[in-house]
Chains A and B, each alone.
Chain A
Amino acid sequence: MSGPLLEVRDLVKTYGSGEATTRVLRGLNLRLGTGELSALLGPSGSGKSTLLTILGTLMKPTSGQYDMLGEDLIGAGDAELTAFRNQHIGFVFQFHNLLPDFTALENVIFPTAVREGRESASARARGRDLLVRMGLEDRVDFPVANLSGGQKQRVAVARALMNSPELVLADEPTGNLDRASAIQVMNLIGEINRDEGTTFLISTHDEKIAATCRRQIVVGEGLLTG
């Protein structure tokens, strides 16, 4: 592990107003180093998903500081955050969240194509390589609707890696998979983390999945408890 990739300080996130105000994050501090493979643990409602959403620049905190790769992401506008997200952050969701009318390859290369404004040959080649690495070489041009749950999640992992991001945020990536598929996905994540030094932060309820990560971060009542 080398220097910090990102750091959040005194992160507060509240929903609602007045008496209906809910404080989900209560001054949370977190530092993630480059190349870390971390599990984010905690009971439902502890603020795991909210933390991932803020780290993914999809939502702004109510207050606090968030720096990544030396950039202050709290003061950035929507267009800047969108470009930053596209280049430096990958996402893997619990329910794969692929574009249903597109093939596996088209889904994987989306982050690059949307940035370049076209599906370049180099993007297609990288997308194909990623799918091969995920063990989906015979499913490259399949519509994602025809893939199994495990295959869809592997396509989602490939998409998250398409732009070679420094950080991949995974929210319950194995929560919707059987044990065999879950192990397969986690093995792939571990392999990429080891080979490419990509930082992973994986939210999970599964102790066994968490045990495959080198660091366990526990969130409770909006604060880090472990």
Chain B
Amino acid sequence: MKRYLKIISLAGVMAALLIALVSCAGDDSASGESAAAGGDNTLVVFNYGDYIDIETLDMFTEETGIKVQYEQYVTPEDMYTKYQSGAIPYDVICTSDYIIEKMIQAGEVQEIDRSGMKYYDNLDPVYLDFCKAFDPENKYAVPYFWGTVGICYNTSMVDEEIDSWDILWDEKYAGQMVMENSMRDAFIVPLKLAGKSINTTEEGELLEAQEKLKEQKRLVMAYMVDESRDAMIAGDAAMAVIYSGDATVAMEYNEDLDYVVPKEGSNIWFDCWFIPDSCKHKSNAEKFIDFMNREDIAAMNFDYVYYGTPNKAVYDELDDETKEDTTIFPDEEALMRCEVYKYLGEETEKFYNRLWKELKAY
């Protein structure tokens, strides 16, 4: 008898261990599975970190009874890797335009059924038009926030009002300007200054742009990506080509900073909601996207994130001071000359790489 007891208890311990092990190993997936298996009233949302007012999620659950499993990621590449691993069946994802374009082309995005959506009309057609660059019929992606690339400058070091990219060739600021250390972002500057498209594939236009960048190089203090924010905050540089989101953060730390989208135009980027092919609760996902478009919810998220909102109903209700904050809502003329990045194809990409390397070696 004693021996049996021993075996039974041993088996019990083993079983317990096994269960613990399985639930540990499958931490993410197990919860995802249960969400999926838990029937109809759940939703797995995948978004950039710190990119939503969490309260809106509770409100969504309260109003619709749909339980939200909220997951976050850092870079779009992270997102894509996790999505592809298939560990969690994401129902709705928010990410950047170029990844969405890639995923649409790969057939990994589902069409959104807008028939049940009440608040889609809150979205400003202007921004929906921009989104057609990567989603030609607005079938797949619903814009959530947008931003630009522009010049952040220190008003205590720059006397004049900046409104053009040509300030980046001004001898006065030699050794005080920071350029974007990423290929396409850097090429925005000379391309737009020459009135060309940032999506040009003309080799002649790109060569001309490279020539301009070479000419500028001796004036450049450094080529930087995220560090440019710190350089601006510290007052090491007078101006920097920078993403509007980074500029907003920098301006919180240093009152002398200002941000402008030059009149020649720039890049405009979008973060959009879309429904991936892993979705198991499509109607819930659509309800969620619609909920995000509702005025009060979009306003809460706007207050929290403070990036450009494509929601016209929210924009109209803003006070004048916010509307005139050109960091998030640039001058209309400049905005109309902004473009969304398009994938240029392998050949142009290779040409770009070559030009970039030549510039760096110059």
A binds B: no
Taking beta carbons and an 8 Å cutoff, which residues of A are in contact with B? Answer: none
Chain B residues engaging chain A, CB cutoff 8 angstroms = none
